[in-house]
Amino acid sequence: MKYKKIPNTDLNVSVISLGTWVFGGENWGGAQEKESIDAVLSALDCGVNLIDTAPIYGYGTSEEIIGKAIKGKRDKVIIATKCGLIGEGPNIKNNLKPDSIKAELEQSLKRLQVDYIDIYQCHWPDPNTPIKETMTAMSKLKKEGKIKYIGVSNFDLELLKEIPHFADIATLQNHLSLLERSMEKDVIPYCKEKGIGVLTYGSLGGGILSGKYRQPKTFKSSDARSFFYKYYAGEEFKKTSKIVNLLNEISVETNRPPNQIALNWIWQKEGVTSAIVGCRNPEQARMNALSATWELSEEDINRLNM
């Protein structure tokens, strides 16, 4: 495993991190607790030290599973969780008001069975709460020692530029993959200039960049692969297939699986600190981690950049 330092922190994180939305179950066709715990342990055995989660993943289920998996291993794990998405029955609302952030943090600490969070992230912007209020609340929690560093997720460049007036953030977590590259133009350069670590999610496009899906596929409406990662059907599948075909070509040439090539492309990118990638079982966790044991050639990176 390779590691990169998050600028202006004491955190050296694995270039491949473990994403745990799948562990929540309901948005990924279900999940088994034991298999999820074993996946965490497999990732740790491979040198992964950053685990990313959120209360909204299974309405606390993901955090509870991680809490069980890392018991007795707290010193080996960097925990990143989030706040700001509140589930109310089938509906999800944005709430980054100070009282809500504080309440969410206390619940996360309890579920994770820890005393502090390494990176506490605003999951999505809340248009109904001034950024000053949110960042003031986050800074207060940092001073109290309940969180070590502040992070944000899904923030655009305009909103990022407002934050320094009220707080220092350590990380930005945004969507980046061979299928979603919008943050390359201005967001990554800005973060590099300001010393903000970049964590990427959606690194395998919800799994389609693993090369597993050769034909269009339909998922239930509650499945993230139908409402968030819309690459599995119609015109999007046709566009995606071109990239998957290229991954398969490079896979044959390098004798490396497509998922490792897609992840390698991300973590080798200048300005990216770590690629967050989900898994369903220990073998997937191991295979993802192995992408950090070798490097793509400059020629293959250029082919993928197209």
- CB within 8 Å of 125: residues ≥ 6 apart: 94, 96, 131, 154, 155, 159
57 is catalytic: yes
**From residue 210, how far is each of 8, 65, 185, 235, 272 by CA, in Å?**
34, 25, 25, 19, 20
Picking from 124, 291, 262, 238, the residue whose alpha carbon sits closest to that of residue 181 is 262
One-letter amino acid at 132 equals: K
Residue 220 and residue 230: Cα distance in Å, rounded?
Answer: 12
- Degrees (nearest 5) of the Cα angle 146, 152, 153? 130
3-class SS of residue 97: coil
Which phi and psi (to 5°) does residue 244 adopt? Answer: -65, -40
- CB within 8 Å of 122: residues ≥ 6 apart: 82, 83, 84, 96, 134, 138, 151, 152, 153, 155
3-class SS of residue 176: coil
Identify the active-site residue in 57, 213, 229, 232.
Answer: 57
- Degrees (nearest 5) of the Cα angle 177, 182, 184? 80
3-class SS of residue 276: strand
Where in the sequence numbering do the catalytic residues fall?
57
